[in-house]
């Protein structure tokens, strides 16, 4: 009976094999984290890694923003001997070849508020999954300053979306979404604080689900999360 049920599932989702991970036995995923100026998602991931709440090993952190040596992120990375690579970007040079060399051998990549669009050639060259966090409920409020866009629009719910990266901006299959209610009583500052908290939680939950093999892509642009 069980075999019949699994065969039915494999037919439904065109699955050729299944994999079961045992967290306490299987090796951790080797990841690279890319981030820009904002630290909240990056620092949250570092703390979760330190506490053993995510089954990953952080191979390196790459940023297009230079951080001072006494920055809290830099002190954390130095204490735990995690390499930090500063690669300033321009509109004509996204440093993609150098990034590819640094992330070689990783199992997947996390964009923790990395504010650069990855080219199609970069995605093809890497060939593995890249998980992004978007500060908004996709497909609304794409592009720059989404919190201000949403605040000015007077929305009543704010959210965060974690998704796979595809060549189209902020349009990859969605892994996780979270929401919180806001009102006219919120200032732009409280609005942003609530939004950043959602981003941290949403990204961490998406990574956890992905590492636990609970994210099943299907129909090109959708996912099932068990």
Q: Measured between alpha carbons, how far is 117 from 128 in angstroms, rounded to an integer? A: 16
How do strand 157-164 and strand 174-181 relate by DSSP bridges?
antiparallel
Torsion of CA 100, 104, 110, 115, to 10 degrees: -10
As annotated, the active-site residues are 170
Strands (E), the chain: 29-35, 56-63, 84-86, 108-111, 130-134, 157-164, 174-181, 215-218, 222-225
| R_g of the chain, CA atoms, integer Å | 18
């Amino acid at each position: 009976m069980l075999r019949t049920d699994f065969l039915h599932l494999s037919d439904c989702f065109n699955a050729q094999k299944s994999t079961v991970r045992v967290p306490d036995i299987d090796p951790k995923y080797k990841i690279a984290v890319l981030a820009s100026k904002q630290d909240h998602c990056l620092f949250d991931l570092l703390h979760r890694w330190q506490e053993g709440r995510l089954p990953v090993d952080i191979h390196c952190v790459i940023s297009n923003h230079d951080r001072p040596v006494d920055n809290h992120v830099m002190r954390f990375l130095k204490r735990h001997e995690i390499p930090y690579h500063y690669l300033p970007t321009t509109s004509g040079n996204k440093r993609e070849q150098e990034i590819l060399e640094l992330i070689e051998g990783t199992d997947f990549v996390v964009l923790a508020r990395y504010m650069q669009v990855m080219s199609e050639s970069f995605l093809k060259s890497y060939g593995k999954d890249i998980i992004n966090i978007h500060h908004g409920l996709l497909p609304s409020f794409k592009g720059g300053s989404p919190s201000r866009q949403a605040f000015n629009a007077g929305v009543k719910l704010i959210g965060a979306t974690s998704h796979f990266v595809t060549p189209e901006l902020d349009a990859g299959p969605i892994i996780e979404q979270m929401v919180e209610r806001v009102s006219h009583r919120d200032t732009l500052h409280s609005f942003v604080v609530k939004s950043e908290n959602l981003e941290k939680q949403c990204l961490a939950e998406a990574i956890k689900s992905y590492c636990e093999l609970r994210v099943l892509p299907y129909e090109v642009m959708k996912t099932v999360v068990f």
